[in-house]
A = this chain, B = another copy of it.
Amino acid sequence: MKAISIGLLGLGTVGSGVVQIIENHQDKLMHQIGCPVMIKKILVKDENKERTVHIERELLTTNPDDILESPEIDIVIEVMGGVEETKNYLLKALQNRKHIVTANKDLMAVYGSELLSVATENGCDLFYEASVAGGIPILRGLVDGLASDRITKMMGIVNGTTNYILTKMSKQGSRYEDVLKEAQELGYAEADPTSDVGGWDAARKMAILATLGFSMNIDLDDVKVKGITEISEEDLSYSKKLGYTMKLIGIASRLENKVEVSVQPTLLPESHPLASVNDEYNAVYVYGEAVGETMFYGPGAGSLPTATAVVSDLVGVMKNMRLGVNGRSAVSPQFEKSLKQPGEIFSKYFVRLHVKDEVGVFAAITSIFSEHGASFEKILQMPLKQNELAEIVLVTHRTSLQDYEDILQKLNDYEMVKEIKSTYRVEGEGVI
């Protein structure tokens, strides 16, 4: 029986994991697919570099065409990262009718739709489970498991670095800068952490999830992003007092055919399933009209979990090859994109203010809220030691983002408000 031949683009930690899994699971793969699987070529930058896994030297190449143009290769696994050059490699592979498995969220968030349609034109599979939430089979869950449901909301902790940092800050009461430094030393955060802590990595994953879950082309530009760099110990301590846990949450919600996709630090009630997802773990909470609440939990990154997702996709491609049905599973987006306006996005909000500690100020502030129809669920006020100021923490009932932005503007203009220290969205209670 003819073996299926793989070309691997990249041999970093994920690539090495893929090699290892394919070697260690030959029996299981044979049993599932009915023929052997072989890695035929691996594209690397430097053939002479020391590797953590043992690789036959003759498998390595520095010439991408040894894979992309080789008639011997059936499937290309892309774990090299990068966007523009990588996209061109994959287009070439598809034109040469090679199926693709990729773990590249940066690429899929930007060129996903284009690549998927080229794949379909060429009768090729293009699978990308590993690009979102590493080892969690969430895309499969969305496509197959919830196929017959209408998904109205997804909330995800989809970045391990920021979840690690927020967990440590909450549990140890440490400062952001200190925890970030510790995370960098432990290898949980990159030397340049901008993409993680700025929320961009999470935004890419939410764009991929929303595109699939809502059957609508959601671009990275459609995602409103706020990172975790400005979260203070005070914010975390007040959250805890009020019964909330702070998480960097990606939200994708839909009402009729209008959607909102955002990433921002968000307060969740401690009893919410996402609130107990700690450390570097990821989870995606999905609300479907029929099924109600489901959650997928697991490692969001890491060499072996991501490699597992890659090999699962590989098994999917190979099963399709055996059945002769490649290139038919991608479903093109069904709906025209339509984004919610700020007047159509509803949520609760937490806001912390420093105000002059004088008679009538609190009443004036509450009237700014009530003019916009916003009332309060929780109120904390306490005097500050310095400067005759008071600190006020308010949690509103559900209000529109439009109203809330107007309220913030008016608070900002009101001379008795010294500073709006922080504000966060509050999710996961009652109304979806």
> Chain A residues in contact with chain B, CB under 8 A?
17, 21, 25, 28-29, 31-32, 129, 135-137, 140-141, 144-150, 215, 271, 273, 276-278, 281, 288, 290-299, 302, 304-305, 307-309, 311-312, 314-316, 319, 323, 325, 328-329, 331, 334
Contacts and interface: CB of A to CB of B under 8 A. Distances in A.
A188 to B, nearest CB: 15
Contact of A295 (B141, B215, B298): B298
Given A323-B325, A328-B323, A148 B290 contact: no
A29 to B, nearest CB: 7
A144 B309 CA distance: 10
B294 A135 contact: yes
Nearest to A272: B276
Contacts of A150: 25, 28
B311 A148 contact: yes
Contact of A297 (B147, B278, B295, B323): B295
21 contacts: A17-B290, A135-B288, A135-B290, A135-B292, A136-B145, A136-B294, A137-B140, A137-B146, A144-B144, A148-B314, A149-B312, A273-B277, A290-B304, A290-B305, A291-B305, A292-B302, A293-B299, A294-B299, A295-B296, A295-B298, A325-B325
Q: How many subunits of this chain does the assembly comprise?
A: 2
Contacts of A146: 137, 308, 312
A135 B291 contact: yes
Nearest to A277: B273
Given A28-B334, A308-B146, A297 B273 contact: yes
B273 A288 contact: no
Contacts of A141: 137, 140-141, 145
Given A135-B294, A290-B308, A292-B305, 13 more contacts: A21-B290, A31-B215, A32-B147, A140-B145, A141-B145, A144-B316, A146-B308, A147-B312, A147-B316, A148-B308, A148-B311, A292-B298, A293-B298
B135 A140 contact: no
Contacts of A277: 273
B298 A297 contact: no
Contact of A288 (B140, B148, B302, B308): B308
Contacts of A129: 145
Nearest to A275: B276
Nearest to A322: B328
A273 B141 CA distance: 19
B148 A137 contact: no
